[in-house]
Every structure is written in structure tokens, then in C-alpha cells.
Amino acid sequence: MTLFSLIVALLIEQVRPLPAQQVVLDPLRRISALLTERFNDGQARNGQVAWWLVVALPTLATILVHYLLWQLHPLFAFAFNIGVLYLTMGFRQESHFFTDIHLALRMGELERARALLGEWRGRQYHDASSTEVARLAIEQALVSAHRNVFGVVFWFIVLPGPAGAVLYRLARYFSDDWGNRRDVEFGEFGRFARKAFEVIDFVPVRLTAASFSVVGDFEGAVFCWRTQALLWADKASGILLASGAGAMGVRLGMPVHESGEIVERPEMGLGEEADADYMQSAVGLVWRALLLCLLLLALVGIAGWVGG
């Protein structure tokens, strides 16, 4: 049921992408604002209480609902799996930005590509070259693919029913919304959310990087992972970018023009400069990694069926 739920959810999402902003992000934003208003006194302790309420309780509730639906009929539980995966996972939630940037670069429309990249990443790239735009788009795509698909898939497999998908999606959102805030008024409220997601994402991010290595240039990916990942400010993203860049044989990272200044960043990967062709290679890398994960899950299911 796990494999079929994933395949059906992926197919539905490809045919009819979820309007994540209206269906998922806006409600979560309102919940976040409410909890921040009620609980945030600048202390980490209240942030921990709020996290358990908004992440752990929905996860436990999902386990309970799945169990009750399974008792009624397995098909109900199967449909519930698909519905939750559709809400929590998806290539298409952000991929339209990547596709439009790729097309704009192919057509020589650099200004449009810069504007799309800025909308996607929430910054300005008026002075970015076509190479910088392609590089940043590939970086964003690799990280987004992990957080929108591979991380969700891992926890969906680990926990009962679709509870893992709920856990990962909520933990990721509140880590971004609370954990990344550094303003004085917000205080230490988001520290627990950030640390909790680091723990939750520790294994998935490394499995995603390993998948990139297996389906790409293995030696290049492992070399870059070992020697470059720690240089990146965010360790998890560094692992993904180093392994992905090494697997594709392309150079990512490096200084870029962003919001009116040059942002210094370490070099990730090896080989040639990024361009529109490597953007297509990134799409192929992600899809091959996903197919590898589904194949391994299928083999585990067959082994369990034969062994039983």
C-alpha cells in the first residue's frame, strides 16, 4: 500500500498540481501567527510547547485517523494516504518557477529569468548573469526536491500511515517560519523548531544525497560531499548541493549578484559552469533519484511478500 499510495499521489499531483499557497501555506501562516501571538514571550520553552501542539499533536492525530479508517476498510486508509501525500508532497509546488526560468534562458530572455528567480527566492537579481541565474535555479531545485518530495517520502515510509508526511511537512514549515527568524523581538521562540527539524531531516537529507550519487557521477558526488559540504552555511543544504553538483559535473555556489550586492559563497561541485543545459540535467537527476527510491521500495515489498 505504501508504494501504490506514493505512485498514485505523484500521478495526481502531476496531472493536477496542488495550489499549495491557498490550501496549505495560507492556513499554516494563520496558525503560526496565532500561536506566536499566544505563546511567544521570547523564551525557548514556550516555543517548544507551541511546536508540540502544532507538529506533534497533528502527527499523532493522523496515526489515530489512519488506524480507525483501516479498521473500517483498508481502501479508506489507502485513500487517506493519498490525500495526505497530495497535501504534503509534490514536485509541482515550486517546479513551475524552474521550468519558466529554464525556458526564459533558452529563449535568451535574461530579464524575465532574473525576475522569475527573484520571485521564487524572495530576493533581487537585476545584475545576475545567465550563469548565475542557472546556478541559483539548480541550487533551489535540488533543495526543494528534497524538502517537497524525498524528505516527505522517507518519513511516510517510517511512521504508520501518512503520519510521517505530516510530521515532516509541519516541522519543515515551522522551522522556516520560526527557526530562521533572528529579530530581537522574536527572541528564542523558534530555536526548538529549528533544532527539531535538523534532527528530523538528518537521515533523509543524507539518503537524498546518496541517491544523487548513485544515479549520477558517484565518485564526483562523494568527493564533493566529503570535501565541500561543510563549507556551506546551512549544513543540510551543503550536503545536497555538493552531492548534486558532483553527480552532475557542474559548479554551483560561488559569488553571485543578489539584492544589489555580491554575496560570497563557497564553490560546490566540479566541472563546467552552469547553464540551461545543466538545468535539464538537474531535472533528470532528481527524477532518476526518485525512480531509484521507488524501485528500492518495490524490491523491499517483494522481498517481504516472498519471505512471508
* pLDDT tens for the chain, residues 1 to 308: 788 899 999 999 888 888 888 888 899 999 999 999 888 888 888 999 999 999 999 999 999 999 999 999 999 999 999 999 999 987 777 788 999 999 999 999 999 999 999 999 989 999 999 999 999 999 999 999 999 999 999 999 999 889 999 999 999 999 999 988 877 778 888 899 999 999 999 999 999 999 999 999 999 999 999 999 999 999 999 999 999 999 999 999 999 999 889 999 999 999 999 999 999 999 999 999 999 999 988 887 777 666 55
Nearest alpha-carbon partner for 243 in 272, 266, 209: 209
> Residue 265: which H helix or E strand, with range?
none
**Residues 81, 124: Cα–Cα separation, whole Å:** 39
CA-wise closest residue to 36 among 189, 170, 195 = 189
Calpha distance 25→3 (Å, rounded): 26
Distance separating alpha carbons of residues 191 and 50, to the nearest angstrom = 12
Cα–Cα distance measured from residue 241 to residue 53, given in angstroms and rounded to the nearest whole number? 33
Tell me how far apart the alpha carbons of residues 26 and 12 are, in angstroms, rounded to a whole number.
22
Say if CB 278 and CB 243 are below 8 A apart.
Answer: no
Query: Length of the chain, please?
Result: 308
Counting the structural domains of the chain, the total is 1
Return the pLDDT at 96: 85
Total-model pTM? 0.93
Range of the domain at 58: 2-307
The whole-angstrom separation of Cα 25 and Cα 188 is: 23
pLDDT at 262: 92
CA distance 203 to 206: 5
What is residue 19's predicted lDDT score, i.e. its pLDDT? Answer: 84
In the numeric block, the cell 537585476 is attached to: 126
For residue 258, the surrounding DSSP H or E stretch is strand 256-258
